[in-house]
Amino acid sequence: MRHFLTLGDFTKEEILEMIALAQKIKAQTKQRKFVPYMEHQTLGMIFEKSSTRTRVSFETGIYQLGGVGLFLSSNDIQLGRGEPMKDTARVISRMVDMVMIRTFEQSKLEEFAKYSKVPVINGLTDSYHPVQLMTDYLTMIEFGKEKNPVVAYVGDGNNMTHSWLMLAAKLGFELRVATPKGYECDAAIVADALAFAKESGAKITFGNDPVEAVKGCDVVTTDTWVSMGQEDEKEIRLKAFEGYIVDEKLMSYAKEDAIFLHCLPAYRGYEVSEETFEKHENVIFTEAENRLHAQKGIMVWLDAKRSEELEIRN
């Protein structure tokens, strides 16, 4: 049985298999053909942080696959009152067929997965947001940016950046990261990504100059400067990130036909200007929609892996 905790756990071939499934199911969905790949299955969705896209896309996705989603906010379940993660895992995974969790530390997600009888999907942790990166790659393909792309990430060295590192390292493309001093990526995650990059031939560079990162690139991306859980640091962060806004001036250094990706929610006037955001709104909202399709690919792939295992066991 496989879990989906970080892209670092997958080979390039596996990532591309999930993307191919997502493309196939997206095409079927567009024809209003809802194939019940996961009929009668239940997806438990545990949220310890807020969400718009992750909740709606997973809930809609599992329903369109013939199953049902259970929205479990930590405020409403006993987890929020101190029931241990490992007990929550042992209870819920005896009743549902798959679990998605949005939480804080990656170790909490790993703890759940360790005790779970069913596949567990990372719906965002402080360290990674892998379902978003599968979505972003699907969107890059749809906008013709998957052939040896150069991607520039400008902003905070956070969960999104870490997942970009993993995607680039596994697929073997060029990623340039520009963060302010003191807001760089996690050193251990960088070390893992660079080890994968050695195998794949990915070129990953780090710096503090957004212009240097963006020069001649095909894809520009950023994320909020204040992630969930960092609200107390807001003032100090907004100061530290001055000069890191993605605006038309910065975009002018990218290729003429470069696309701009944003996982959303976007804070205009901070990490992105209103003008740049609206200029790229078609890509950005296709990216948002693709959460639905990419995650169906992931769920169906994980389910198939588990079924294979069950067949071998029987």
Q: Give the distance, in angstroms, between the CA of residue 143 and the centroid of all CA atoms in the same chain.
A: 18
Cβ atoms of 249 and 289 within 8 Å: the answer is no
Residue (of 164, 112, 148) closest to 8 by Cα position: 164
Give yes or no for a cis peptide into 119 (omega within 30° of 0).
Answer: no
DSSP 3-state of 38: coil
- As to burial, measured by CB atoms within 10 angstroms (0-12 exposed, 13-18 middle, 19+ buried), residue 266 is middle
Return the residue of 96, 263, 288, 299 that touches ligand NVA, per CB under 6 A. Answer: 263
Answer yes or no: 129 catalytic.
yes
Partner whose binding site includes residue 273, from ligand CP, ligand NVA, none (CB under 5 to 8 Å by kind): none
CA within 13 Å, CB half, 38: 30
Choose which of 228, 240, 266, 304 interacts with ligand NVA (CB under 6 A).
Answer: 228
Write down the catalytic residue from 3, 53, 55, 129. Answer: 129
Do 43 and 100 contact (CB within 8 A), yes or no?
Answer: yes
Closer to ligand NVA by Cβ: residue 224 or 273: 224
By CB under 6 A, tell whether 160 contacts ligand NVA: yes
Interacting residues with ligand CP between 15 and 54 (CB under 6 A): 51-54
Contact call for residues 44 and 72 (beta carbons, < 8 A): yes
Q: Which is nearer to ligand CP, 134 or 151 (CB)?
A: 134
Going residue by residue from 106 to 145, which x/- string records binding to ligand CP, judged by CB under 6 A?
------------------x-------x-------------
247 counts as catalytic? no
The residue among 3 and 129 lying less far from ligand NVA, judged by its C-beta, is: 129
By the rule CB under 6 A, 159 interacts with ligand NVA: yes
Report the alpha-carbon distance of residue 279 to residue 167 in Å, rounded: 26
Closest to 145 (Cα-Cα) out of 177, 179, 168, 123: 168
Asked if residues 300 and 65 have their Cβ atoms less than 8 Å apart, the reply is: yes
In the complex, what is the shortest distance from the CB of residue 104 to ligand NVA, in angstroms, rounded to a whole number? 10
Interface with ligand CP, residue 162, by CB under 6 A: no
Q: Does 224 bind ligand NVA (CB under 6 A)?
A: yes
The question of whether 23 is a catalytic residue gets the answer no
In the bound state with ligand CP, the residue whose beta carbon lies nearer, of 234 and 249, is: 234
Contacts with ligand CP by CB under 6 A lie at 51-54, 124, 132, 263-264
> Which amino acids are annotated catalytic?
102, 129, 132, 223, 263, 291
